[in-house]
Amino acid sequence: MDLRQGLKAVSTLILTALMLSPVVPLTVGARSNERATTSGDQFVSSKDNQFAKGQSHRKIAADLEETINKAASKGKGDQVAPVIIRLADDKSGMSDGDLQGKFANRKGKLKKRFTSMGMASAELPLSKISELMNDDDIAYVSPDRPVASYGHVEITTGAAQEDARTEVAGFTSINGTGVGIAVLDSGIDDTHNLIKASTGRPAIVYSRTYTGIAANRDYYGHGTHVASLLMGNPGYRWDFYGGIAYEAKIISLGVLDASGQGQSSNVVDALDWCVANKAAFNIRVINMSLGTPAKDSYKNDPLCLAARRAYSAGIVVVASAGNRGKNTLGQKLYGGIDSPGIEPSVITVGAANTFGTNTRSDDNIATYSSRGPTRGYATDLSGTKYYDNLVKPDIVAPGNKLIGATSPSSIGKQTSLITLNPALKVGIAWLPTDQMMYMSGTSMATPIVAGVAAMMLEANSSLTPGLVKAILMYTAQPIKGFNTLEQGAGEVNAEGAVRVAGWVKTNASSLSQGTSMLNNWNEVDQANYIYSLGERVDWGRGIIANYSVLYGSDLMTKWQGLYGQDALWSDATTVTDGVISRNVNLVSEGVSSTWGPLTITGVLISDGTIITDGVLLSDGVLLSDGVLLGDGVLLGDGVLLGDGVLLGDGVLLSDSIENGDDSPGMEPAP
């Protein structure tokens, strides 16, 4: 068996073992101090928080501690570093003056408070950061990590059917009307003809920047391309490049600079703004086609915590999985999901390759699309790592070689995508406001899902973020030949998702456990014929919990306590002593009598079959030939080969991937 066959064969074992195998302590080589996460919320920081075996949680992120130690060894402890501080829950009302006093006493300064997030950004000498370990007012300290962008849609997703032939009562078309979508990116240039406002299209209703770039400009070009896929004018060039939710209200929040880079604090600041201004702009969806390699557990990561606050405020948060699905040798990697995509409440989106056709039967997962499980971790005082190992991504959408708008303000800029990658240019345009470009990446897939979410919320504004996410996954179409850690629940199905959204009762969140939450339901509708495609699209009928796949029609027909405003339904399963069990407060016996992982054939296993031959799961690391994890671990014959071997760091992290996968893309309009 060659490596490609071996990886494909073992991919099913990876998922099944993660969901169903007991966690066995690992005692091999230098990584014997790594452990798997074993229960729900044990890593939420506080003074009295305890780990397994009674050890206290470190309050400083492991990568920040590494930076501190390196600086100390080189006599550079006075070097000032940007950090993000999370306050203890009972100290979130602390005044700016008191907080500034803490930093000033350590030769640092407060930069910005994120009031609704319970966080702040600051600058401190590296040698002084460790003093915060003993400060009861401080819950956790993270580095202000850099974030970066990642690099025919209506028909292939089924969105065109809901727009032109909707079956939702009271609507003649659904296209995101009235729904506010915040796009956190490099800005949006609203002068492009595909993007600018027109009759019935509000387009960009508000623009704000966190990087010093002028409002309504995008010097890098990423945000404009992303926005055009989300809300491009269907009247532009014969609707060849029409966006998904083209009548939504778009809020542009520029968190990335002219080279597509930014800081985590910019993103936290923008998320804080979204929560504070939700009502003013009816912000129901946030699109983040950006990310940073996961270093913290989602329970401590500032981006994840900020995303969770937005979710709890009633906003659907959609984020890219990342483009770390293979290394520089082209070998498949697992464990490359980026933050904030590692957060359970976020809808984490991978990229599908449609090969430029409207039909879905030939779709694959793009080779660069990041695979699960999540590899964020927390560390106790002894240095033991506790990995999250959650099943991600949640869903995939078209993301390979998609044509969208080139930002007019990026043309000629030294660091812009189109200047650095002129091969991305598509067609001949006499005016900058008509220039188009190809891009590939999970960044391109993310606005597709965000747009479908906006359509669902237009159809039924009472939907909670958790229910939006569940319906998207339940109606998704599994792609044959790929496992759940590659595709999540499957490829987004806009037609099915919007139809089910319209069936949900507006008082669903007040219904008692086990009461039907749908006004209409027909089992036949779970095998849909999408007329705009001319083909059948089968629903997967499964939704991903933290460590397993829940399965069955009861997930949609009955209110199970999973989808309430304050509920995190992914906690429907928990792990205790290596055994997966239901959270009886969220899931009744009527739901998912079996855990149904997707096999590589794209079919849900619903009979509880467990495939374990040749696989040992221990501390979240699989010991099996040829399996690569994106955090630098190469595994073979049960032997760890150590750090530095085939690291995933060489993978392209941005959407400057010029050609995407080696396949045809969308064709330019005539």
Domain range annotation of the chain: 1-26+58-659
φ/ψ of 162, rounded to 5, equals: -70, -25
Strand partners, 545: none
| pLDDT higher than threshold 50 for residue 616 | no
In terms of DSSP bridges, do strands 146-149 and 261-263 run parallel, antiparallel, or are they unpaired?
Answer: antiparallel
Residue 636 burial by Cβ neighbours in a 10 Å radius (0-12, 13-18, 19+): middle
More confident residue, 403 or 594: 403
In contact, 188 and 218? CB cutoff 8 Å: yes
Helix (H, G, I), strand (E, B) or coil at 646: coil
638 DSSP 8-state letter: T
More confident residue, 358 or 322: 322
Q: What percent of the chain has pLDDT over 70?
A: 71
In terms of DSSP bridges, do strands 316-320 and 283-288 run parallel, antiparallel, or are they unpaired?
Answer: parallel
Computed over every residue of the chain, the mean pLDDT equals 75
pLDDT tens-digit profile of 180-225?
999 999 999 999 999 999 888 899 999 999 998 998 999 999 999 9
User: DSSP letter string over 105-123?
Assistant: TTT-EEEEEEGGGTEEEEE
Q: Which residues contact 567 (CB under 8 A, 6 or more apart)?
A: 466, 561, 586
Predicted local distance difference test score (pLDDT) of residue 603 = 37
State the Cα–Cα distance between residues 299 and 456, nearest whole angstrom: 29
Cis amide prior to 670 (ω within 30 degrees): no
* SS3 annotation, 78-95: CCEEEEEEEECHHHCCCC
Q: Which residues contact 476 (CB under 8 A, 6 or more apart)?
A: 395, 488, 489, 490, 491, 492, 493, 539, 540
In terms of DSSP bridges, do strands 573-576 and 579-582 run parallel, antiparallel, or are they unpaired?
Answer: antiparallel
Tokens of 185: 């990116």
Helix (H, G, I), strand (E, B) or coil at 104: helix
More confident residue, 163 or 452: 452
φ/ψ of 443, rounded to 5, equals: -60, -35
State the Cα–Cα distance between residues 153 and 167, nearest whole angstrom: 20
662 DSSP 8-state letter: S
Predicted local distance difference test score (pLDDT) of residue 526 = 60
Residue 451 burial by Cβ neighbours in a 10 Å radius (0-12, 13-18, 19+): buried
| pLDDT higher than threshold 50 for residue 421 | yes
More confident residue, 592 or 535: 535
Q: Mean pLDDT throughout 262-283?
A: 96
CATH placement of domain 1-26+58-659: 3.40.50.200
Q: What's the whole-model pTM score? A: 0.81
Tokens of 4: 């490609």
Q: Give the chain's radius of gyration (CA, Å).
A: 23
Lowest average pLDDT, out of 370-379, 393-402, 423-432, 575-584, goes to 575-584
State the Cα–Cα distance between residues 386 and 391, nearest whole angstrom: 16
In terms of DSSP bridges, do strands 633-636 and 627-629 run parallel, antiparallel, or are they unpaired?
Answer: antiparallel
State the Cα–Cα distance between residues 22 and 167, nearest whole angstrom: 45
